[in-house]
Amino acid sequence: MSSRTLTFVGWGVVAAALVLVQVLAARGARVATLRVLLRSVTRARAGQVLALAGWLWVGWHVFVRSSR
Amino acid sequence: MTTPGTKRPRTTVVALAVVVVVAYSWWATSLPPFSTSGLVAVLIAGGVLIAVRRSTMRRRDHEADEGTGRVRWPWVAVIAGIGAWELQALFQHPREAHPTISSILDPIEQWHGARLVLFFAWLWLGWQLAS
């Protein structure tokens, strides 16, 4: 298996894990949903400021600093 | 309880807001990369979203117990996995053999429609974080 394929398999695994956790949470398992997780992070003022700063950085990285 | 007289203006405002957001998003995602106009468009979108969300937000007291009894460790594990996989790809070369999230998104972002979908997802995330 090439490095490229292996890396994509890894991305597929983490993406599947993310979807699985959200589905389990939405179906009533004792797991927080993504929405609840975000609420937990932003409940504290410092957490919210850091999260929003990170969010703005993602916006810049994806939509401005894109090599498309 | 809402009366027809109060519901219609609210519906109109929401519909107008949706049109404005879609139009702005279309314009913002059509700007060239590495441009000042693109940077300003993203910053304005972020700033306005945070300001609007903060001014329209209802009290969150009722949500205090929303996550009670629900474990968060699966999310910590998933986020740690994403971070670890991104870092191992980032520090290896060539990039083609070790694609990061950015390098996977780059070819997808060739299409304006894909950039628009990503922009909506980004706005949704910001709305949640500003709440």
Find the chain A residues whose C-beta atoms sit closer than 8 A to any C-beta of B.
2-4, 7-8, 10-11, 13-14, 17-18, 21, 24-25, 30-42, 48, 51-52, 55-56, 58-68
Nearby residues of B57 by Cβ (< 8 Å), 6 or more positions away: B130, B131
Q: Which of A8, A30, A58 lies closest to B71 in CB terms? A: A30
Confidence grade of residue A66 (pLDDT, cut at 50, 70, 90): confident
CA distance B56 to A40: 20
ipTM score here?
0.87
Chain B environment of A10 (Cβ under 8 Å): 85
Mark A36-48 as b/e (b = at least 16 C-beta within 10 Å): bbbbbbbeeeeeb
- Condensed to tens digits (0 to 9), the pLDDT of residues B91-126 reads 999 999 999 999 999 999 999 999 999 999 999 999
Residue pLDDT, tens place only, B40-85: 999 999 999 999 998 888 655 555 556 678 899 999 999 999 999 9
- What's the burial of B32, exposed, middle or buried (CB within 10 Å: 0-12/13-18/19+)? exposed
Q: Is the peptide bond before B94 cis (omega within 30 degrees of 0)?
A: yes
Dihedral pair phi/psi, residue B32, rounded to 5°: -65, 150
